[in-house]
Amino acid sequence: MLAAPDLPELLTYRDPTGRARRILVSRDWPPKRRDIIERLEGVLGPCQTVRPPLAPEIHSEDDVGEYLRQRISYQVEPDERCSALLLVPKPVTYRLPSLLCCHQTVPEGKDEPAGLAGRPSMHYAVELVRQGYVCLVPDSITAGERVYPGSNPFDTAPFYQRHPQWSALGKMLWDHQCALDLLCSLDYVDPDRLGVIGHSLGGENAMMLGAFDHRIKVTAVSCAYVPFAVDPEPNRWCRDHWFVYMPQLRPYIDQGLHPPFLWVEVLGLIAPRALYYSYAAQDSIFPNSRAVAEDMRQLGRLYDLLGSRARLAYYEDPGDHDFSDTAREGAYRLIRSTLKANRA
C-alpha cells in the first residue's frame, strides 16, 4: 500500500500559509477546483494545442430497424484518424440528445457498447439509442481498429514513441473531446444535451471527459477506480509495459508515495453537473472498492454545498466488476432526467 495522501479532503483547502481550512461556502470551491485541475494536468502531460479539421467520413451504413448504424472515422491528430460507430435513432429528427459511449478494456473496442461483440451488460449504446439518444462509440487508442500496426491490443509503446511527454489517459481525453466536436457538428444533435457513459477503462475516460469538458451535462460511470490509498496494485496506473495510463505517476508509486491527486477530486470537477457512479462490492479488478463509499459521501457534501444534490446519484452493486442491469438503469434514470430524450 502507498503512504497516506498528503492532500486535504475534497472540501478542504490549504491557505497561503499552508494551513488546512474547510470549504464552507460555494464561493470557496473555485480556487480548490483550479488547484485540482493544475495537479491533474501535471500528470496527464502536455497535450496538443491545435485540433486538426475533423474531416469526417462515413464508410458504411446499416439500417438496424429502430436505428441507423454508421461506421465512420474522423481526424484527431494530423495523419491520425479515430474509428467509431455512430448510432442514430429513427426517425432522424432535429436536435436530439446525444451520448458518447466509452468502451472497457476489450480488444473489440467500440463493437462491444454497440452490441456487435462482448457481454450484453456492456451493450449500453444499443440500449440508449433505442431510448432516443444519438450514440457515438469511438475506439480508444490501442483497441478495435486503432491497434498500432505490429502491436497487440492495448500496447501503448508506439504511442509513447510518438508522444513521450504525454499520457495515454490524456490522449484519450483529447480524442474524446474531438468526438464531442464531431457530435456538435451534426444537425440532428443538440449540442446543449450531451452526456458520456462508460465502464472500467470507459468509466475512467468518462470521468476525465466530464471533469474537463463542460459540454458534458451528465456523466455516468461504472467501476472505474479504487482510492489509491487502498489499491493493492497502484502501479497499474503507471506500469512500464502493456497499457501505460500515466507514466508521470511512476516516481510517486516507485517510492511508495501517494499520487498528487485523489480520484474523488476528478469526480468533484464534474459538480454541479449531473453525475452517476456505480461501484461493485465484490470487484475483482478493483479490490477494497467499498472505500469508494466514502468518496461518494464527500461528493454528496460538495453537491449539497453547490445546491445541486439531486444531480448526484450512486449505487453499490453487490456483484463483481460489471455494469449490471440495476446499475445501468440507475444511470439511465439520471440521463433521462438530465437530457430528456423524446422517447424516454
pLDDT along the chain (344 residues), means of 10: 83 84 93 95 88 96 97 96 98 94 98 98 98 98 98 98 96 98 97 98 98 98 97 95 97 95 98 98 97 97 98 98 98 97 67
- Distance separating alpha carbons of residues 307 and 27, to the nearest angstrom: 12
Residue 215: per-residue pLDDT? 98
Q: Are 334 and 313 in contact (CB under 8 A)?
A: yes
- Which one, of 67, 237, 72, lies nearest residue 139 by Cα? 72
Q: Are 141 and 172 in contact (CB under 8 A)?
A: yes
Q: Which SS3 state, helix, strand or coil, does residue 137 take? A: strand
Grid coordinates representing 276 are 452517476
- Please compute, for residue 162, the number of CA atoms within 13 A of its CA located in the half-sphere on the CB side: 13
To the question of pTM greater than 0.85 for the whole model, the response is yes
Residue 229: per-residue pLDDT? 94
Residue 343: per-residue pLDDT? 67
Residue 19: per-residue pLDDT? 82
Residue 344: per-residue pLDDT? 53
- Distance separating alpha carbons of residues 87 and 197, to the nearest angstrom: 15
Phi, then psi, of 131 in degrees rounded to 5: -95, 0
Q: Which SS3 state, helix, strand or coil, does residue 248 take? A: helix
Chain mean position to CA 170: 11
Phi, then psi, of 263 in degrees rounded to 5: -60, -35
Residue 14: per-residue pLDDT? 82
Residue 334: per-residue pLDDT? 98
- Distance separating alpha carbons of residues 216 and 177, to the nearest angstrom: 10
Q: Are 67 and 127 in contact (CB under 8 A)?
A: no
Check whether domain 12-339 has CATH 3.40.50.1820, yes or no: yes
